[in-house]
A and B are shown apart, each in its own frame.
Chain A
C-alpha cells in the first residue's frame, strides 16, 4: 500500500471518530466558560497530509519525514477560538490541567519587523479516554495539535493561508507581501484594543467606569 492508501485507511477508521471524540471532550472541559466563539477538531485532509509528508529538508535534500505516519503530529487538529487575548491564557490554563502537552509554541514573528499573526499552538498526547481500545494500535496517532486563538488571529491566519501561497508555488510580490503584513498588523492592533477595552470595562470598579 502507498502512503496515501495507509493514510486514507487511518483517516477513515480512526482519525475521523477520534477528532469527533476530541471535539466533544474539549467542549465538555470548557463547559460554562465565557467568550468562546467556537471549538472544533478535525483530521488533516488526505491531500494535505501527503503534501506535508513529501516535504524535503531545506538545502540538505532528502525527505523531512522518514516515517510520516509516526512523525507528523497534526494528523488531528483542534481549535478553540476565543474573543480576546486575555482569554487565550485563561483557556490554555484550563485545558492544560487535563491534557499532556509535549510542546507549546506562541507563533510570533522572529522580529518586530516581520509579519504573521497565528496564535498559540500546543502538541498534546491524546488522552486515553478518547482512544477506543478496539481501534488497531498501528492506526492511532500519539499526538494532536491544539490551537487557541483570538477571532482576529484565526481570521488572519485563515486568509493568509488561503492567499499567502500562490497555487503555482510562485512567491508573492513585494507589494502583495506588504498587503498581508498590513492586515496582520491591523489584526494585531484590533486584538490589542479589544483586550485593553475588555480589561478596562470588566476589571475596574463600576464607579470608575461611570
Chain B
C-alpha cells in the first residue's frame, strides 16, 4: 500500500497559551525526498508502531470519541481542510515542553482497505556543515524535524472504512515511560483520547498466570525457585509500561525460567503486548508464595512479604536450610489435596 494523499501541518504548542497561534497546513507532493521519507514510514508501520491502542468511549458510555471522529472524517476525504481539525486538536494538547511539531497525515488504499498514518516530528535545532573544495562552513539551524529524535510519535489505523472502523490502532511513542506524567500522556491519552488495548489488569493477569503455571509445571527446582523469587520483586514495577517479554527481562530471570514462562502464554504474540503493569492485579493473581521442604513442611505467606515473614538460614554442608517464623497463633487449617 502506498501513500495516495499526504498533508503536513506546523503545530504550535497552544495548550495554556494566552494567545494560541493559528495552525496552517499544506499538501505535500507525492514525489521527492519528503515523500520518500514518509512513504518509508508508511510502509514500515508494522515494524515501528507496536503499541496496540484503542479509542475510549465517551463519558456516557456511547460509542463516540472526538478524536476518532476527526480521523474518520479525514480518512473519508483526505485534504488539508479535513486534516486541519486534527492538527488544531494536537496543538491544543501540546505544551511548551513538547514544543513545536510537524504533523504529517497520510492515507493510502489497497483493494477495500484504507490506511491512515498520523506522525509527529518534534522540532530540533542543529548545525549544518557545508563542505566545498575551498572551505568547510557551519551554521546553526532551527526547526529541524527529525524522525529518529526521542520525541517521535505516530499512530496508524487500517481497515475497511465504515462507521464502525478504526476503533483500534497501533502507535509508537518514545516518551511513553517519561517520568513526567504530562509528557507520557501527551500522545495516546490526551491527543488520541485512547488507551492501551490490553488493559492494565488483563496484561498483568496474563503474565502472572503464565508465571503461576510455569512454577507449578516445571520439574526444575531452580526454575521454580527463580520464578517464586521474582514474584516478590515484580510489584516494584508497578505503573511501568512494558510488554510481557520486557517484564521478564526486568526481573532478570534466566533464559530457562523465561522460556518456561513464555511457553505458558496462550500464544507467542502475547509476549509483545504492551500494557501498564499493575502490582495490585499481580498480587491478586499470585497472592501466596509457598516453599516446600523434603521434610514435608510447607511454608506459605503473602508473596510480597514472604521474605519478611520467614527467616531463612544459609544452607548447611548437606544443603539443608532452616526457616523460622514468629507470631501469635490465630488459626489452624487442614486442607484437601486437589485430585
Contact = CB atoms under 8 A, between A and B. Distances in A.
A130 B266 contact: yes
A102 B54 contact: yes
B52 A142 contact: no
Interface stretch (A36-44, A67-75, A178-186, A187-195): A67-75
B197 A102 contact: no
A161 to B, nearest CB: 23
A40 B55 CA distance: 27
The winner among A98, A99, A100 for most chain B CB atoms within 10 A is A100
B111 to A, nearest CB: 11
B230 interface: no
A104 B175 CA distance: 32
B168 interface: yes
B199 A104 contact: no
Contacts of A112: none
B168 A125 contact: yes
Contacts of A128: 52, 197-198, 269-270, 273
A interface residue count range (under 10 / 10 to 19 / 20 to 34 / 35 or more): 20 to 34
A71 B162 contact: yes
Interface stretch (B57-65, B96-104, B309-317): B57-65
Given A70-B165, A98-B199, A133 B160 contact: no
A5 interface: no
A139 to B, nearest CB: 14
Contacts of B273: 128
Contacts of B202: 97-99, 127, 129
B267 A133 contact: yes
Given A123-B63, A129-B206, A103 B162 contact: no
B85 interface: no
A127 B54 contact: no
Contact of A101 (B57, B112, B160): B57
A169 B261 CA distance: 56
A170 interface: no
A132 interface: yes
Given A70-B165, A73-B164, A133 B199 contact: no
B247 interface: no
Interface in A63-90: 66-67, 70-71, 73
B159 A127 contact: no
B205 interface: yes
A128 B265 CA distance: 11
Contacts of A132: 267
B interface residue count range (under 10 / 10 to 19 / 20 to 34 / 35 or more): 20 to 34
B266 A70 contact: no
A100 B164 CA distance: 15
B167 interface: yes
A105 interface: yes
Contact of B162 (A70, A98, A129): A70
B57 A98 contact: no
Contacts of B146: none
Contacts of B163: 71
Contacts of B197: 100, 125, 128
B41 interface: no
Nearest to B209: A28
A74 to B, nearest CB: 12
Nearest to B63: A103
B201 interface: yes
A91 to B, nearest CB: 15
Interface string A4-25: 0000000000000000000000
Contact of A98 (B168, B205, B270): B205
A1 B182 CA distance: 51
Contacts of B269: 128, 133
22 contacts: A67-B160, A67-B162, A70-B164, A70-B165, A71-B162, A73-B164, A97-B199, A97-B200, A98-B205, A99-B202, A100-B198, A101-B61, A102-B54, A102-B55, A102-B63, A103-B57, A125-B54, A125-B167, A129-B202, A129-B206, A129-B270, A143-B167
Given A99-B202, A102-B55, A102-B57, 18 more contacts: A66-B162, A70-B160, A71-B164, A97-B202, A97-B281, A98-B205, A101-B57, A102-B54, A103-B61, A104-B61, A125-B167, A127-B198, A128-B269, A128-B273, A129-B206, A129-B270, A130-B266, A133-B269
5 cross-chain pairs, A with B, having the tightest CB-CB distances, nearest first = A104-B61, A103-B63, A97-B201, A98-B202, A71-B164
